[in-house]
């Protein structure tokens, strides 16, 4: 029997629309979790199916594993998997309660001496992982893992003892940045967009924006990508654009770019939809399954970003 309690399913978009083409791609290629997320975001689906699909990745220790983040394979809980899970819970309005309390206890258990998170916990040893995600026995604190988690917890008004030291660490790291790279900047923005101290966040974001523009970390002219350097260690086409930093119009990173720069960035994002309906992965592909699993994630995010900026998707 059909689920009840939701509005009627909206009419199908025109067959030529970005949404229609993406829907075909998602049903063809996506994991159950991304199928449920697509239905939630674009087809009036409910949160319960997303929640149930996400629960399959949860471990007894309160963390998440099982390749939820496709570039880390195997069953063990990892901070990057947990960050991914929190993004899903935030998207469906369920980032709170006892489940997130258990997540925070898990984060406490895997934190570094600084009180922050490593990118990869050494429990990953013995399981496949992307070569650009190094596994070491004593990993350092990493803003890529810590910033988005702390930001999401603050965004959802979660209070836990773990947050105090982790928040202080993020502030120290972000305010001391002299050089950086795009993914680290994106993690910093995820923190700054949600941390409660708004004047301090605005000041840090202003400084970070000057760093991004000064170091040319954003490709401002998609028609001339050869003129924009790619960060060391990134794939040859792994450029980052204004829409990667300012994922919504109310992000602090939106002030870093002019209206014209953002419009060109969104035009380029819209143009990147492939003939099969999905958006491409630009980072290094190291195995078939991670690349296949990542594309529906990228596709859903592209559609959400375009819609957030008022672009028609169908």
Per-residue pLDDT of the chain (314 residues), as tens digits, is 444 455 556 665 566 899 999 999 999 999 999 999 999 999 999 999 999 999 999 999 999 999 999 999 999 999 999 999 999 999 999 999 999 999 999 999 999 999 999 999 999 999 999 999 999 999 999 999 999 999 999 999 999 999 999 999 999 999 999 999 999 999 999 999 999 999 999 999 999 999 999 999 999 999 999 889 999 999 999 999 999 999 999 999 999 999 999 999 999 999 999 999 999 999 999 999 999 999 999 999 999 999 999 999 99
Is residue 126 situated within a structural domain?
yes
Bridge partners, 64 (sequence order): 58
Is residue 76 situated within a structural domain?
yes
Is residue 86 situated within a structural domain?
yes
Bridge partners, 129 (sequence order): 72
Hey, CA dihedral for 78, 79, 84, 87, is it positive or negative?
Answer: positive
- The pLDDT of residue 10 is 60
Is residue 100 situated within a structural domain?
yes
Domain limits for position 83: 61-159
Domain count, the chain: 1
- The pLDDT of residue 13 is 57
- The pLDDT of residue 216 is 95
**Distance from C-alpha of 140 to C-alpha of 137, rounded to nearest angstrom:** 10
Residue tagged 């923005």 (tokens): 189
Following CA atoms 95, 31, 240, 152 in sequence, which dihedral angle do they give, to the nearest 10 degrees? 10
Residue whose C-alpha is closest to residue 132's, from 75, 72, 182, 173 = 72
Is residue 252 situated within a structural domain?
no
**Distance from C-alpha of 130 to C-alpha of 138, rounded to nearest angstrom:** 18
Is residue 289 situated within a structural domain?
no
Is residue 174 situated within a structural domain?
no
Is residue 41 situated within a structural domain?
no
**Distance from C-alpha of 272 to C-alpha of 302, rounded to nearest angstrom:** 9
């Amino acid at each position: 029997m059909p689920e009840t309690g939701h509005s009627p399913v909206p009419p199908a978009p025109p067959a030529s629309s970005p949404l229609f083409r993406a829907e075909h791609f998602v049903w063809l290629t996506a994991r159950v979790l991304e199928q449920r997320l697509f239905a939630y975001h674009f087809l009036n689906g409910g949160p319960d199916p997303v929640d149930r699909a996400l629960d399959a990745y949860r471990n007894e220790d309160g963390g998440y594993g099982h390749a939820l983040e496709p570039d880390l394979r195997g069953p063990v809980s990892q901070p990057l998997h947990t960050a991914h899970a929190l993004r899903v819970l935030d998207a469906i309005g369920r980032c709170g309660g006892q489940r997130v309390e258990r997540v925070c206890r898990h984060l406490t258990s895997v934190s570094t001496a600084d009180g922050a998170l490593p990118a990869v916990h050494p429990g990953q040893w013995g399981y496949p992982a992307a070569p650009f995600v190094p596994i070491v026995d004593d990993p350092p604190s990493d803003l890529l893992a810590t910033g988005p988690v702390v930001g999401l917890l603050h965004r959802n008004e979660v209070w836990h003892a773990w947050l105090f030291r982790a928040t202080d660490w993020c502030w120290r790291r972000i305010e001391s940045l002299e050089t950086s790279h795009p993914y680290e900047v994106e993690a910093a923005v995820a923190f700054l967009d949600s941390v409660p101290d708004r004047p301090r966040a605005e000041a840090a974001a202003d400084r970070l924006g000057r760093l991004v523009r000064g170091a040319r970390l954003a490709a401002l002219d998609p028609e001339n990508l050869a003129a924009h350097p790619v960060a060391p260690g990134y794939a040859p086409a792994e450029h980052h654009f204004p829409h990667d930093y300012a994922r919504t119009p109310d992000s602090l990173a939106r002030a870093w770019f002019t209206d014209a720069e953002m419009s060109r960035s969104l035009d380029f994002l819209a143009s990147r939809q492939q003939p099969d309906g999905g958006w491409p992965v630009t980072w290094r592909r190291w195995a078939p399954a991670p690349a296949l699993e990542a594309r529906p994630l990228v596709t859903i995010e592209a559609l959400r970003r375009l819609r957030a900026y008022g672009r028609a998707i169908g």
